[in-house]
């Protein structure tokens, strides 16, 4: 007599069809491939674009808030920064207020790369939004922010839909 427990195949199908984690993972992989392919001509991956965009601020941010925004630990952030530093796109410097901490900033070349990538991101994102039912993209963003615990109030004048044209971006 076997001690193994048999899980019915119907349960497997139920998990396949209803597991939010599975569906979010699959969607994340599909979106990552889509944006990786789109951003390749700019020399960036989707992860590098997101990281560099998170550094595009008036003042260099400390590593902690950047890691939190990107939902990664500081060790993973440090590893993600290395290739960007080697390319001369990102600078990591000592925090003058806390010598143990580091501040992150884009270099002039990094800002130029990001500026070239932004119209690609806008176009790809608009096509993705257009492929969802009316209101679906905004609702999906809202739901994902709740799931990730990153729900933040919208900045004044910020649309939930990135629809700026490349021309409006100064291209």
The three-state (H, E, C) secondary structure of 65-129, written as one string: HHHHHCCCCHHHHHHHHHHHHHCCCEEEEEECCEEEEEEEEECHHHHHHHHHHHHHHHHHHHHHH
Provide the pLDDT confidence category of residue 152 given band limits of 50, 70 and 90. Answer: low
| CATH of 19-148 among 3.20.20.70, 3.65.10.10, 1.10.10.10, 1.20.1250.20 | 1.10.10.10
Domain ranges for the chain, please list them. Answer: 19-148
What is the model's pLDDT at position 110? 98
Q: Is the pLDDT of residue 150 over 90?
A: no
Provide the pLDDT confidence category of residue 167 given band limits of 50, 70 and 90. Answer: very low
What is the model's pLDDT at position 99? 84
Residue 25 in 3-state DSSP? helix
Q: Could you read off the pLDDT of 125-147 as tens digits, one per residue?
A: 999 999 988 888 999 999 999 99
Please check whether residue 92 is in contact with residue 74, taking contact to mean a CB–CB distance below 8 angstroms: no
Q: Could you read off the pLDDT of 50-91 as tens digits, one per residue?
A: 999 999 999 999 999 999 999 999 999 999 999 999 999 999
What is the model's pLDDT at position 36? 98
What is the model's pLDDT at position 168? 42
**Cross-strand bridge partners of residue 93:** 103
89 CB burial (10 A radius; 0-12, 13-18, 19+): buried
What is the average per-residue pLDDT within 4-30?
Answer: 95
Q: Is the pLDDT of residue 155 over 50?
A: no
How many Cβ atoms from other residues are within 10 Å of residue 3's Cβ?
A: 4
pTM for the predicted model, two decimal places: 0.81
Sign of CA dihedral 79, 107, 97, 72: negative
């Amino acid at each position: 007599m076997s001690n193994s427990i048999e899980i019915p195949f119907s349960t497997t199908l139920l998990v396949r069809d209803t597991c939010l984690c599975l569906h979010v993972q699959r969607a994340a992989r599909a979106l990552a491939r889509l944006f990786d392919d789109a951003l390749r001509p700019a020399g960036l991956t989707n992860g590098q674009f997101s990281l560099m965009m998170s550094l595009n601020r008036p003042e260099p941010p400390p590593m902690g808030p950047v890691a939190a925004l990107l939902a990664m630990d500081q060790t993973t952030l440090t590893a993600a920064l290395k290739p960007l530093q080697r390319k001369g796109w990102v600078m990591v410097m000592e925090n003058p207020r806390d010598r143990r901490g580091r501040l992150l900033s884009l270099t002039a070349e990094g800002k130029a790369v990001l500026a070239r990538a932004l119209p690609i991101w806008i176009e790809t994102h608009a096509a993705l939004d257009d492929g969802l039912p009316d209101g679906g993209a905004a609702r999906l963003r809202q739901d994902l922010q709740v799931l990730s615990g990153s729900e933040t109030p919208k900045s004044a004048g910020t649309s939930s839909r990135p629809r700026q044209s490349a021309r409006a971006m100064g291209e």
